[in-house]
Structure 1
Amino acid sequence: MISTATNTAPSRAERRNFQRVRVKIYGRYMLEDRSEHPCQVVDMSPGNVAFLADQPGQLGEKIIAYLDHIGRVEGVVTRGVEGGFAMTIVASERKRDKLAAQLTWLANKHELDLPEDRRHERVAPRNPMSVMILGDGRQYQCRIIDLSLSGAAVELDVKPAIGVAVTLGTMRGRVVRHFDDGIAIEFSVLQREETLEAEFSGRRQA
């Protein structure tokens, strides 16, 4: 009887032990047909993850996701959720431990409201004109209203959806807010002052 229980109970017990963390992480995932699609993590534990996605996978389909701050995650679709899908993460115990540490850090980061960290001084660049590149390769001239180490406000003729991956100059990021004349983006990684200065001060190089 004990052996039967150990065959059927672990996944449910594991799910209880894995604390789900509500985080906003962006990324891309690949379906079995090798097509890639953008996604946003709604909540995640070392054993499961729920995505918002326009192209949800089929039940039982294997998924490979590449997530900001997390890296590569593999899994299997277990159910559909409103606007997306959930999957069980397939990973070694070591990988799950690493995921738990990453999620703890991300949960604290979001508790402190760091995505658009107002503690980073926002400045107007010397050279405000730049180019915004969307994930599908479309390019638009834009004007940077202000920027900080963590993000930028950009005047733009189009308004990519919130969560969409964009590149401002050479800085990768995601759209986090819309306003009347443009969008706010959050950089994928915290930038250095020297990098921003080199990128948006006229690009004079030695």
Structure 2
Amino acid sequence: MVSVRSEQREELLVPSSVKIVVAGGFGVGKTTLVGAVSEITPLRTEELLTEAGTEIDDLAGVEGKNTTTVALDFGRITINPEVVLYLFGTPGQDRFWFMWDELSHGAIGAVVLVDTRRLDSGFGAIDFFERRGIPFVVAVNCFDGSHSYTEDELRHALDVTTNVPLVLCDARDRESCKVVLARVIEHAMSKLDHAAIA
């Protein structure tokens, strides 16, 4: 039998919110990842690519892309009754990077999503989180037909040390994305524990 007091305690339980940012270059799959893992219909701010952007947007490797995020993607996952995870996907093009500071405010960690077809598009996001001391993991989005590289090759190409977790994923697959997010939380928590001991 459940006491009235414990029932009242359950009713008063308000979940803690945890914020994670999903960042990376143009066309690496950020919107896809947020949409694949969100338990709600994600908020998307996508617009069609236009002729005006052809001189600015580099479509090499993503020639079939016809939309782009212009503000943010937003999704939510309930981890358990006590924790709700909020996902904020950043726009990828350089001209929208001014929004990254605002989107990253209060985040416990980040996912830097990269595409092996265009690894150099991940440098900006890696540098952004390193400079701000925000824990992040590098998630390599494995597209059909993309080249396969060893972890050492990827770390060398991206210039990230073994202190930064590197995870292979498929941004279209919910379970794969959940593994990435769990790794971000683990990494962020380990940084907090390490800071508390120091």
TM-score by length of 2: 0.23
Larger relative helix fraction: 2
> Higher strand share goes to which structure?
1
State the TM-score, normalized to the length of structure 1. Answer: 0.23
